[in-house]
Amino acid sequence: MAVWRCQRFLLTTQGKGEIWMIAVIDYDAGNLKSVEKAFLSLGEEVSITRNREEILAADQVVLPGVGAFGDAMGRLHQYGLVDVIHQVVDRKTPFLGICLGQQLLFESSEESKGVEGLGILKGKILQIPPQEGQKIPHMGWNSLTIRPKSRLFAGVEEGAYVYFVHSYYLKAQDETQVAAFTDYGVRIHAAVEQGNVMACQFHPEKSSSVGLQILKNFVHMQKMG
């Protein structure tokens, strides 16, 4: 049986002791199962949930996402998750946004004008400009330029390829928060790190061994203190 202890979502089962828990936020806009499968392959326990108490008690929290910026923000409000996410960040719980989940961390998007994002980090989400011979959405494998000493990319080689699917991209206000870049007719801020908040535009759960290394880094940076 699950045992709740203080503010931590720790499971105690006979013979297993305490289990580290990652909450993956379910707001009907995410690639939940593929994210869950990736963490399970690393030996981690995952709870797919929109329950406020479970999210706030988790050791780490992941916000995945596919679809439109405005629709996703609408669902976060509908399920009362906007305040919960802000509390998670304020508590310094490690937080990872994936794909649309990265975009939602910022202030606004050209995709859904007039809709406010979470505003946890400063920056805008812009449409990838059309160019002759270049397909939109940006779909497929692309290489990364990695900022030195990035925690999220520890052990990942410069120029490593990861999998993207998006038509809008991040332009962060503070480039010191950018952990990795890619190019697709425009310079794209492909990942960010700021304190306990991390995010990536690409899909680590679909990026083979490189993506699994990134997820492993996210997990271990908290476990190792």
Tell me which residues are annotated as active site. 99, 203, 205
In this structure, which long-range contacts are made by residues 173-181, counting pairs with CB atoms below 8 Å and at least 24 apart in sequence?
Answer: 173/121, 173/122, 173/123, 173/124, 174/122, 174/123, 177/121, 178/147, 179/146, 179/147, 179/150, 179/152, 179/153, 180/144, 180/145, 180/146, 180/147, 180/150, 180/152, 180/153, 181/144, 181/145
Q: How far apart are CA 132 and CA 192, in angstroms?
A: 29
Q: How far apart are CA 85 and CA 95, in angstroms?
A: 9
CA distances from 112 to 30, 174, 190, 213, 222 (A): 18, 22, 20, 33, 34
